[in-house]
Amino acid sequence: MCDSRPPRQSSQQPSPRFTRRMLAKAGAGFAAALAFDGKSQTPMTTIAQVEATRAGEWFAPESVGGETGQLQFRANFPFRAIAPHWSGSAGVNAAVEISLSADGKTFSSPRIVGPGNVDAGPADREGRAFGQLMMTDWAEFVRYRCLDANGNEIDLPGLAFSYIDATGGPTLQDVETPSYGGTLSRPPVITRAQWGASLAYGGADDGQWQWTPEYRQVEHIIIHHSETPSFRDPIIEIRSIHYYHAVVRGWGDIGYNYLVDYLGNVFEGRAGGDDVVGGHAFQYAYGSSGICSMGSFSLETSTPEALGSLVWITAWIGRNLDPLGRNDFHETPNLPTICGHRDVNDSSCPGDSLWADLNYIRGGVAAVISGAYDIAPDVPYGPGDVIQVSTDNANFRSRPGTDGSIQATLAMGTILTIVEGPTTNDGYTWYRAAGQQTAGWLSTSVFTRSSVAPPARDFGDGDQVEIASNLLNIRSEPGLYGAIVATMANGDTANVVGDPIVSGGITWVRIDSALGTGWAASQYLAPSGRAAISAAFAIGDQVQVDTAALRLRTDASTGAGVVTTLTQGTRGVVTGGPRLSTGVIWLQIQTDSDSGWVSQQYLAEPRDISIPVPDGRFSVGDEVVVDTDALNLRDSPRRAGRVVAVLWTG
């Protein structure tokens, strides 16, 4: 995931971000790993009825160009990651300039995607040359032109694009993040099973079968960066990288041995355990462990939480090595035990900022291994803790930083529940918290701990309720981490069993229905007899603004803040809802540049999108099979029809 610019020399100035607290937390993580010999003791969670990672491929027509050299195509479905690849006969001295759009009208600024030849695993499939994987917000339309090493337009033989939607499956909120406290109750590594490695293979984790493990004793540790945007859901991006390495490029598995996100979570990478050879630095992967820090650190700095976890996982891997030492390694003499990707390959990885921190990572690792830092107490807040806003007009942001868009403005005394964190950015410590209707990031300067329980919906044992959402997952446990035991449709009825509880910022109600018994999020339930929400569009549907001006709001309420005003014809994709507020049905949509809530009465289907249906494809009485991950069965032949069931593959 790194480009191929020449390496630069490391700065020798001390890094103020390497604090005693950061090193103490690193010591905690290291001790936890030692306690369990690096193996997770967390019970494996079954992922039930989740969508597998989706991918598509589009092949460009040969020798076609316009006056500007730009061409365009539309993917078969919205995606979150894309990469070009071309015939190996054209070599790697080429690049593709790419612009993306969700609606085919407003395109992103062009980005030049170069060859990903420094991400070195097994031989790429069919001898093709593969570009770097480009992460994006939702997109469906692609404009591109091909360039040589001097920026001149060229034709690339065999050009194709692979695009990936890895949103199906667990998110970061579904995974129990580790504690660095003194109990050492579990080692702080998120396993392949937890982040959803199996979704690339159709249900079973075949990493060791698709790419037969080889083993070499680890002598060096090589630090990388993913060169992807910061502060995004790392599990979705890890699944995208995994699919790109394992399936698109044909390696069989992800190339990195471990990955670290901005919160300090550490993820298991390549299957096979200790000393398994990954695919991250050509021959230098033999005898090394590759650790990837999620983000782009050419200009930006890493968070203290990420640096602390880089220190402890490096200390764990190199616990029998000299972190301050140097040794000859393959063709490189006198290579530091802990080095950057650029130290062994022609690459700018892991970015100037993170590479400049390597001296301090080495020192931190040495201190942790020597036991100079005791286990630190837990961070002040953890998932599930109840907090309350302690100032007027506290900003609820879309990402942890003062540049995050304001999702909502919260009044003093607002009760919330911590979902994840902490992470440090812009001089503040941030946590993600959730209320009854929304979630976002807050700095610790605007909230305090609260003994007040979050408000719960008025459902009790024996109450009859209706499903007030197009589709609602019923889970085995009261949390997003629980396996999905059933999916209920809008208007279905159930009986409440026991009292509601709060978990992960969500009030959960245990219900008994014809489809089984499980836990449901209370905001999607309504008292029986009240009209259930009838939404004209479902999540994933494309929509278009059907009025002269439509306010996009931060929440499903006419009193919520205005993100922007959408003009007639603006297109987007439904990403959430429906919600009923003051008699209005609200849907959350994502446009090319913004996300927010709108009233559904001002939305329509895009008028110029038609789906041809082949004449005579099916006849009455034909037996058919579902050939997609999930298919909505509706009560009428239109998108506005009520969803009566969800049919799964096969």
Q: For the purposes of burial, counting CB atoms within 10 Å of the CB of 586, is it exposed (0-12), middle (13-18) or buried (19 or more)? A: buried
292, two tokens: 């990837």
Q: Give which of 207, 97, 252, 118 is closest to 161, Cα–Cα.
A: 97
Q: CA torsion angle for 108, 114, 115, 118 (degrees, to 10)?
A: -110
568, two tokens: 């007639």
Q: For the purposes of burial, counting CB atoms within 10 Å of the CB of 498, is it exposed (0-12), middle (13-18) or buried (19 or more)? A: exposed
Average pLDDT over residues 13-22: 51
Q: What does the alpha-carbon distance between residue 354 and residue 301 come to, in Å, rounded to a whole number?
A: 7
Q: Give which of 334, 218, 239, 233 is closest to 281, Cα–Cα.
A: 218
**Residue 205 — very low, low, confident or very high, per pLDDT cuts 50/70/90?**
confident
Average pLDDT over residues 368-383: 65
3-state secondary structure of 157: coil
Query: 415-466 pLDDT, tens per residue?
Result: 887 877 888 888 888 998 877 556 789 999 999 988 765 544 467 777 888 8
Looking at residue 188, what is its pLDDT? 74
Q: Look at residue 50 and tell me whether its pLDDT is greater than 50.
A: no
Q: Look at residue 650 and tell me whether its pLDDT is greater than 80.
A: no
Which residue intervals of 372-507 are DSSP H helices?
none
Q: Give which of 285, 220, 214 is closest to 255, Cα–Cα.
A: 285
Q: What does the alpha-carbon distance between residue 105 and residue 441 come to, in Å, rounded to a whole number?
A: 31
Most confident of 269-278, 299-308, 546-555: 269-278
Which range (26-30, 222-226, 374-378) has the least confidence? 374-378
- For the chain, what is the total number of helices (H) and then of strands (E)? 7, 38
Average pLDDT over residues 365-386: 70
Q: Give which of 67, 136, 48, 143 is closest to 473, Cα–Cα.
A: 48
Looking at residue 407, what is its pLDDT? 83
Percent pLDDT > 70 in the chain is 77
The residue ranges of DSSP E strands in 102-255, in sequence order, are 111-113, 129-130, 134-148, 160-165, 220-225
Looking at residue 186, what is its pLDDT? 35
Question: Buried (b) or exposed (e) across 168-186, using 16+ Cβ within 10 A?
Answer: bbbebbbbebbbbeeebee
Q: What does the alpha-carbon distance between residue 204 and residue 194 come to, in Å, rounded to a whole number?
A: 13
Which amino acid does the sequence have at 177? T
Q: CA torsion angle for 198, 202, 208, 211 (degrees, to 10)?
A: -120
Which amino acid does the sequence have at 344? V
Which amino acid does the sequence have at 227? E
Q: CA torsion angle for 113, 115, 116, 117 (degrees, to 10)?
A: -170
Q: Look at residue 616 and tell me whether its pLDDT is greater than 60.
A: no
Q: What does the alpha-carbon distance between residue 83 and residue 547 come to, in Å, rounded to a whole number?
A: 36
**Greater confidence, 223 or 115?**
223
Looking at residue 328, what is its pLDDT? 95
Q: What does the alpha-carbon distance between residue 518 and residue 440 come to, in Å, rounded to a whole number?
A: 27
> Half-sphere exposure of residue 209, counting CA atoms within 13 Å on the CB side?
5
12, two tokens: 């020798």
Q: Give which of 164, 140, 161 is closest to 609, Cα–Cα.
A: 140
Q: Look at residue 134 and tell me whether its pLDDT is greater than 80.
A: yes
3-state secondary structure of 125: helix
Q: What is the pTM of this model?
A: 0.64
Domains contained in the chain, CATH given: 20-39+185-369 (3.40.80.10), 54-165 (2.60.120), 386-449 (2.30.30.40), 542-604 (2.30.30.40)
| Alpha-carbon distances, residue 59 vs 85, 160, 161, 502 (angstroms) | 10, 4, 7, 49
Q: What does the alpha-carbon distance between residue 176 and residue 518 come to, in Å, rounded to a whole number?
A: 20
* 192 Cβ contact partners less than 8 Å away, ≥ 6 residues apart: 198, 205, 207, 268, 271
Q: For the purposes of burial, counting CB atoms within 10 Å of the CB of 227, is it exposed (0-12), middle (13-18) or buried (19 or more)? A: buried
Looking at residue 453, what is its pLDDT? 55
61, two tokens: 């027509």
- Number of neighbouring beta carbons within 10 Å of residue 317: 23
Looking at residue 563, what is its pLDDT? 85
| Mean pLDDT across the chain | 80
Looking at residue 180, what is its pLDDT? 42
Looking at residue 452, what is its pLDDT? 64
Which range (485-494, 533-542, 624-633) has the least confidence? 624-633
